[in-house]
Amino acid sequence: MKAKNIIIASLLLLSFLTACKKEFLIEDNPNEPTTAQFWRNETDARSSIVALYAPLNFQYRYGFFEFGWGPENWKSDELLYGGEYPVFYQIANYINTPEVYELMEFYNNAYQYVNRANQSIEGIPLCTMDENLKAEMIAEAKFFRAYGYFKLLRNFQHIPFYERSPETTEEIYAKQADRAVVWALIEADFLEAIEKLPASRAGAEVGRVTKAAAASFLGYAYLYQQKYTEAASVLSRVESAEFGAYSLLAIDDYNQNWDGSNENNQETIWEIQMHNVKSDATNILQAEFLSWQEANASEWIFDRFTAESALDGNTDPRYFKSMMSPDLDFQAPLGTYSELSSSGNNLILKHTTDQWVAGNRNENNYPLMRYADVLLMLAEAVNETSGADAALPYINQVRERALMPDLPTGLSKEAFREKLMNERAVELCFESRRWYDLVRWHEAGWIDIKQVLMQHNKPGAATFDERHLYYPIPEIEYEVNPNLDRSKQW
């Protein structure tokens, strides 16, 4: 939905919500159902919940790459842009402007979660249905409101805030809120989701959010705010299997997290359900990574994989399932580097499959939260609260799966941070984590992000400044909302 459409939709919503206040003698338009007419029963409530999941895949075959994966990854030092599309180059090199269409779609997508969730939160209580199921669905909607706002706060510095659906014209034109206000709502919504969502989903319900998903994202939100005690507390509940048992796939099956062969496996806490054909087709991200080779792995991330040997003396085995360099060629399912490369850059293998069919496109499920991420977030939080030795069991689980040697005891808090930052880079590369890790570590005072980018030879790093930590509010929002503060665009 484009920005102008958001305003139109909001105006329609305004008439939708106030229709029931019409004078007695004015007949309701049957083509514009009122709130009371729509929110009737469990079927209507379920319809609103289904609508919450639709924005996850952007409803457009290449949209997930262009408006989803791209904006979350282009700025990272693990990535190089190798294509010819000017906008992607601008984002990747920190020279984009507020007029970039792809960022506008990215921004609008986040508000789709918020807007749809608010309508569900307000409408489901009006439905006649089982009260326990009603409470669960409201909590599911609150999860998505928190998810949408968390996405917004990670990417935009000063955002308009809607705690409920607008009821007046003035409320449509919301002002930018203090970030602390939005963080408070995120925490409250995830907490309610933990309390009232089910611990597991089965059958056709697989893919809907659970207690563990809410707890994991709440822990992530706490880390972002440097609330390490709170993060350690909630993430430890996931690790202790309070919300169901999760475990790491064996290293031989590591690529099953992305290749479509074992979706919703025991390592997945929440993933986007892509319901397209899984055979006789090429994955969309694979087409971008290996066909057009627009997104490429940086030399820095290759160096991370080869800086430390596995227990058998060989290269970290995650390398062979994550990327491919001409400096360490090997036989991947689709071929060797010399057979696959047309750019001369390092290739990304994550999110790809073992088949290649020209012209046909599909999407594999995309993990939004893996158990490995939870373990590493927990290790980070515990190191900050209880020291490195207490954090070792969590990071070492991830390293042991990768057949890497355990970290030693006796590390200082600062030394453990360095190990943790390296481990997250290797384990979670190309999964929409690295850039946000850099931002939050910079804001915590652990690193100077510009120095890191320059040391890692990230193109555009020399012109990077603080405003590039976040994207600008799209220019069109200022054209339609008179209450936005121009000084808070970046």
Q: Tell me the C-alpha distance between 32 and 7, whole Å.
A: 18
pLDDT of residue 363: 78
Q: Supply 396's token pair.
A: 């070492």
Q: pTM score, two decimals?
A: 0.92
Domain boundary assignment for the chain: 282-364
Q: What is the pLDDT of residues 237-271, one digit of tens each?
A: 999 999 999 999 999 999 999 998 999 999 999 99
Tokens standing for residue 480:
């339609």
Using the CB atoms, write b or e for 117-140: b if 16+ within 10 Å: bbbbbbbbeebebeeeebbbbbbb
pLDDT at 13: 37
Average pLDDT over residues 341-355: 92
pLDDT of residue 18: 35
Q: Give yes or no for a contact between 51 and 200, defined as CB atoms under 8 angstroms apart.
A: no
Residue 487 in tokens? 């000084």
DSSP state of 269: E
Q: Confidence class of residue 5 from pLDDT cuts 50, 70 and 90?
A: very low
Residue 11's pLDDT is what?
34
d(CA 342, CA 84): 14
Give the pLDDT band of residue 32 (cuts 50, 70, 90).
Answer: low
Residue 6: predicted pLDDT = 40
Is 9's pLDDT higher than 50? no
d(CA 371, CA 256): 14
Pick the range with the lowest mean pLDDT from 173-187, 348-362, 439-453: 348-362
Is residue 93 predicted with pLDDT exceeding 50?
Answer: yes
Q: What is the pLDDT of residues 433-454, one digit of tens each?
A: 999 999 999 999 999 999 999 9
Asked if 362 contacts 273 with a C-beta cutoff of 8 angstroms, the reply is: no
Token pair in block for residue 220: 């992530």
Q: What is the pLDDT of residue 361?
A: 76
The residue-averaged pLDDT of 188-216 equals: 97
Packing angle of the helix pair 131-155, 211-224 (nearest 10 deg) = 30
pLDDT at 284 over 90: no
In the chain, % of residues over pLDDT 70: 91
What pLDDT, on a 0 to 100 scale, did the predictor assign at position 353? Answer: 85
Q: What is the pLDDT of residue 79?
A: 97
Mean pLDDT over each residue of the chain, to the nearest integer: 91
CB 254 within 8 A of CB 321: yes
Share of the chain above pLDDT 90, in %: 83
Contacting residues for 31 by C-beta, under 8 A, at least 6 apart: none
State the sign of the Cα–Cα–Cα–Cα dihedral 432, 355, 272, 62: positive
Please write the tens of the pLDDT for every residue from 116-162: 999 999 999 999 999 999 999 999 999 999 999 999 999 999 999 99
SS3 at position 79:
strand
Report pLDDT for 34: 65
State the residue for tokens 């963080």: 183
- Asked which of 180-184, 231-235, 249-253, 357-361 is least confident by mean pLDDT, the reply is 357-361
Give the pLDDT band of residue 14 (cuts 50, 70, 90): very low
Q: What is the pLDDT of residue 355?
A: 81
Report residue 282's pLDDT band, with 50, 70 and 90 as the boundaries: confident
For residue range 363-421, list pLDDT tens digits in order. Answer: 789 999 999 999 999 999 999 999 999 999 999 999 999 999 999 999 999 999 999 99
Tokens of 93: 């090199």
